[in-house]
A and B are shown apart, each in its own frame.
Chain A
Amino acid sequence: MRRTHRVGVLLLVPALAVIVAILVLPVLQTVLLSVARNTTSVLQAFDFAGLANYQRLFATPRFLTAIQNTLVFTAVTVPLELVFGIVLALLLNRHLPGRWLVRLAILLPWALPTALTALMWRWMFNGEFGLFNALLQGSGLIEQRINWIGGIPIAMASMMTVSVWKTSSFVALLLLAGLQAIPRDVYEAAEVDGANAWSRFWTITLPLLRPAILVALLLRTMDALRAFELPFNLTDGGPLTSTETLSLYAYRLIFQYVNFNLGAAAMVVQFAIIMVIALLYIVTLRRDPYA
């Protein structure tokens, strides 16, 4: 047993070393940077600034806008993704015509790079030569071409659309495992009792799927709260700062305005928001009678 123990720990060393070096220490330093002044490395210089960076941030309207944008983006996209995700998961769980094609269709949005997905949509949203304007004008639904990513608040709506397109299928994949774990005889019993498909969905599928739904919501919410490459590549945070997320603003504070300490503080605030929401989900999940 003692030998097992030693080998077991040895086998962990490479993975833990990378995780500590790339994830744990950098995040710790980000926290320290957020309470320091004029430094890019706390090992090099550490001039304690207390909460000065945070005070400055919360007095910056652009930061508050970024928080608001991030929360609105998350609150709109995550529920939509859940609804589409459930529909897609139910679809994937059936014996379908063209199952191979359906599976690829569901995998594809997840597998495409978000940055390049944003480019594809930017091209379709293009105000002069874009596909959407062509289709809408061709079918007589609009008269003037619309600048999908050039206006407020339509740019935010466009960004949300891309996000829902990109991630609904990932939600479906997360829910699929939960669906497959529901025993068939539960449905057969309900059918004998005369329950139709609709009531079977509400009384059996949805309650039994609830733990999987909560996990999917948790993962998607955390992901939406840190959205970066979508605004970076679709709208560049604009027009003005109407689609600038917390991640994008923090990135710009550091690499555009070269203020590591203010940027770190913005990241810590973002992290705190993510943690609070994650904890809410986990507490709900713990209390769930089906979990």
Chain B
Amino acid sequence: MPERRTSLRDRLALWAIVAFTVVLSFFPVVWLALTSLKPAADIYAWPVVLWPDPFTLANYARIFAESRELLRYILNSFIVATATTGLILAAGGVAAYSLTRLDYRGRAALMVGILAVSMFPPIALLPSLFDGFLRLGMLNTYPAIVLGHTGLYLPTAVWILASFYRTIPMELEEAARIDGASTLRIFWSIILPLSTPGLIATGLIVFIMSWNEFPLALVLGSSDAMRTAPVGISLFPGEFSFPWEIISAATILAVLPVVVLSAVFQQRIIGGLTAGASKS
């Protein structure tokens, strides 16, 4: 859009839209956060108590005192998402380099093939992955969930990384090759440093997607000790009804990492998402 001096009316309208968007986007998290800060009795009150009075951290304290398994779920998510991100950047980084910079037959077809398999519904993987990991004795282990997530998000990561590699000028590489540098040497000392922003953006996106993933984590890590945060919290058993005072506090703790990452690295994440999408 061309930037021009806008009238006061236009600017007010824009402000209104901005405010509306921000409120619309934040209110579910904010409402849950407010709920988590209320005394338990006020959570189940009608008319609804809108503002915590007094503010209390009692619900959070209860998690640490009585429901430590919820902390375990969050730790599991950390382990799974971190390992998945590492594996994907390692395997995806070299694969995307090979697919965009090295010359051999079938490259383009492979890129399309990788895009096609990324469209498989995750649900369709579940029977085989469940049965396979069960037979391997790996059900309810970190490696099973991590491998599952790595397979699920590797295609997307390769596409995002490829879009970053394509922006690095080919001449740099050709000059190094004439100087006698090997392919791996070129990758390590030229491509890798130049593609750091791409690797960071891809890593952030993969971390968030793995943190949030539900069906695979549900099936491959169903034992109480192996549940990730989304699985463990949503399956949290209530004695009589869903214990919202505990659930609200646990959910806030579980979404805190992705909210902070989104706030701090918003431009990198948006850049990575749009780069990957525009190339497909």
Do residues B119 and A22 form an inter-chain contact, with CB atoms below 8 A?
no
Do residues B270 and A29 form an inter-chain contact, with CB atoms below 8 A?
no
Which chain A positions have C-beta within 8 A of B50?
Answer: 134
In the complex where A5-B104, A8-B102, A15-B154 touch, is A98 in contact with B18 (Cβ < 8 A)? Answer: yes
Please tell me the size bucket of the interface on A. 35 or more
B24 to chain A, nearest CB (A): 7
Do residues A104 and B121 form an inter-chain contact, with CB atoms below 8 A?
no
In this assembly, does B48 line the interface, its C-beta being within 8 Å of a C-beta of chain A? yes
Please measure, in the bound complex, the distance between the C-alpha atom of A267 and the C-alpha atom of B120, giving whole angstroms.
10
In this assembly, does B129 line the interface, its C-beta being within 8 Å of a C-beta of chain A? yes
Which chain A positions have C-beta within 8 A of B32?
Answer: 120, 123
Do residues B46 and A111 form an inter-chain contact, with CB atoms below 8 A?
no
**Partner among A30, A108, A170, A212 whose Cβ is within 8 Å of the Cβ of B25:** A108
In this assembly, does A206 line the interface, its C-beta being within 8 Å of a C-beta of chain B? no
From residue 98 to 121 of chain B, which have CB atoms closer than 8 A to chain A?
A: 98-99, 102-104, 110, 114, 117, 119-121
Do residues B121 and A119 form an inter-chain contact, with CB atoms below 8 A?
no
Do residues A120 and B254 form an inter-chain contact, with CB atoms below 8 A?
no
Interface segment, one of A54-62, A73-81, A151-159, A171-179: A171-179
Please measure, in the bound complex, the distance between the C-alpha atom of A113 and the C-alpha atom of B50, giving whole angstroms.
25
Do residues A12 and B98 form an inter-chain contact, with CB atoms below 8 A?
yes
Q: Using CB atoms, name the residue of chain B closest to A113.
A: B212
Do residues A112 and B255 form an inter-chain contact, with CB atoms below 8 A?
yes
Please measure, in the bound complex, the distance between the C-alpha atom of A74 and the C-alpha atom of B233, giving whole angstroms.
27
Please measure, in the bound complex, the distance between the C-alpha atom of A178 and the C-alpha atom of B94, giving whole angstroms.
28
Do residues A264 and B127 form an inter-chain contact, with CB atoms below 8 A?
yes
Which chain A positions have C-beta within 8 A of B65?
Answer: none
A26 to chain B, nearest CB (A): 3
**Partner among B21, B48, B92, B274 whose Cβ is within 8 Å of the Cβ of A173:** B274
Interface segment, one of B164-172, B192-200, B244-252: B244-252
Do residues A15 and B92 form an inter-chain contact, with CB atoms below 8 A?
yes
Residues of A within 8 A of B (CB): 1, 3-5, 7-9, 11-12, 14-16, 18-19, 21-27, 29-30, 33, 40-41, 88, 90-91, 93-98, 100-121, 123-124, 126, 128-131, 133-134, 137-138, 165, 169-170, 173-174, 176-178, 180-181, 184, 187-188, 191, 212, 215-216, 219, 222, 225-226, 228-229, 232-233, 247, 250-251, 254-255, 260, 263-264, 267-268, 270-271, 274, 278
9 CB contacts below 8 A, A to B, read A4-B102, A11-B97, A18-B150, A26-B124, A111-B259, A112-B259, A118-B234, A173-B273, A215-B280
Residues of B within 8 A of A (CB): 1-3, 14-15, 17-18, 21-22, 24-26, 28-29, 31-32, 35, 43-48, 50, 87, 90-92, 94-95, 97-99, 102-104, 110, 114, 117, 119-132, 135, 147-148, 150-152, 154-155, 158, 182-184, 208, 211-212, 214-215, 219, 229-231, 233-234, 244, 247-248, 251, 254-255, 258-259, 261-263, 266-267, 269-270, 273-275, 277-278, 280
- Which 9 A-B pairs have CB atoms at the shortest separation, nearest pair first? A22-B151, A26-B128, A8-B102, A15-B95, A134-B48, A113-B212, A105-B25, A177-B278, A177-B274
